[in-house]
Amino acid sequence: MDAALCRLLNRPPYKSFGKEPLKAMIRSIIALLLTKLRYGISLALAIVMFPCLSFASDFVIGITPHTSARVILRMYEPLRLYLTQSLGMPVVIVTAPNFTEFARRALNQEYDLAITTGHQARMLETDAQYLPLLTYKADFKAVAIVAVGGSIHKPNDLRGTNVLGLGAASLVTLWGQHWLAQNGLADVHVNYVSASDSVAQLLIDGEAAAGFTSQANFDALAPDIQGQLRILAESKPMAGRVYLLNNRHSHKRKAINSALWGFAETAEGKRYFKESKLDGYRKLKPGELKSMEPYAAEVRKILQTESR
């Protein structure tokens, strides 16, 4: 849908209006329609869903689609508001329909600040010259989860079943596929869904035998949902969500980095870290992103395959 809007903006007669006035008009129309159809969805969510509608003057933060657009907007709204005030420019939050499309858009330089897991962060650093800034203190782990009281008690019980991942280019899915291979489970089929809460509900409904998600997203599930699931396996700690600045803003690196650390000291920032169990920001360790190169290479292969 977003790609279609981009093509529309570049075609006559719409092109003659100028992109920015036309975007303003479309933003208003979409926000109005969404409000009528979905009971109060805001313009901010309209932009999250349709990032092509962001203005050229907007500072665009791209968030990897680790959960639904609505949840992403809610999670990062305090950061957006703080950066808008601190940097003195309009800041918008956007995401993508899946991890592969997020990587493609990031490589196309569509984000001013990208927040994505370590394997894509490594790719953006080496292939698109993004500048890594910081990550979270909490360990990032991928987990395989199953329904409590189900028939899956050990890896071998998954033979011949269907499992769920968050997209071919997501770190948790790539780890999960490696884990399946290490356990000799070549006959397990991986299906992709859009968000961790979808994985959880499908497992509870018996639609799949297991699912791959992050420990953080598992911990963020509502207690009544989480209580119906358990962890079957977990990864070693890996580089989790990393904040990367587009190189075109290298001259603002110090100011933007300072603003992010400043947000961490606010009441809103501390509340965000507590609710998400991320414990705050930290600097990246030497070689931390380089260690993610094998997973980054797999994302490149996925992008090359889909572009043929």
Q: Is 183 a domain residue?
A: yes
- The domain that contains 251 carries what CATH number? 3.40.190.10
Categorize the per-residue pLDDT at 49 as very low, low, confident or very high, splitting at 50, 70 and 90. low
Q: Is 52 a domain residue?
A: no
Count of C-beta atoms within a 10 Å radius of residue 225: 14
Q: Is 126 a domain residue?
A: yes
Domain count, the chain: 3
Residues 188 and 260 in one domain: no
3-state secondary structure of 59: strand
Residues 133 and 244 in one domain: yes
Residues 71 and 153 in one domain: no
Distance (Å) of CA 294 to CA 178, 206, 213, 247: 11, 33, 19, 24
Q: Contacts from 281-284 at CB under 8 Å and sequence distance 24+?
A: 281/134, 281/135, 281/136, 281/137, 282/134, 282/135, 282/136, 282/137, 283/134, 283/135, 284/132, 284/134, 284/135, 284/239, 284/242
For 291, the token pair is 């260690």
Categorize the per-residue pLDDT at 38 as very low, low, confident or very high, splitting at 50, 70 and 90. very low
Residues 294 and 152 in one domain: no
* Amino acid (one-letter) located at 58: D
pLDDT tens, 108-136? 999 999 999 999 999 999 999 999 999 99
Residues 148 and 134 in one domain: no
Residues 217 and 248 in one domain: no
Nearest of 239, 224, 252 to residue 290 by alpha carbon? 239
Q: Is 51 a domain residue?
A: no
Residues 226 and 255 in one domain: no
Residues 273 and 148 in one domain: no
Whether residue 13 has a cis bond before it, omega within 30° of 0: yes
Q: Is 180 a domain residue?
A: yes
Residues 167 and 151 in one domain: yes
pLDDT tens, 61-106? 999 998 888 889 899 999 999 999 999 999 999 999 899 999 999 9
DSSP assignment string, 147-183: ETTSS--SGGGGTT-EEEES-TT-HHHHHHHHHHHHT
Domain residue limits at 201: 142-234
How many Cα atoms sit within 13 Å of 121 on the Cβ side?
29
For residues 45 and 43, what is the distance between their CA atoms, to the nearest angstrom? 5
pLDDT for 16 beyond 60: no
Count of C-beta atoms within a 10 Å radius of residue 246: 22
Q: Is 261 a domain residue?
A: yes
pLDDT tens, 243-283? 999 999 999 999 999 999 999 999 999 999 998 889 999 99
Q: Is 283 a domain residue?
A: yes
Residues 152 and 269 in one domain: no
Domain end point (choices 234, 257, 283): 234
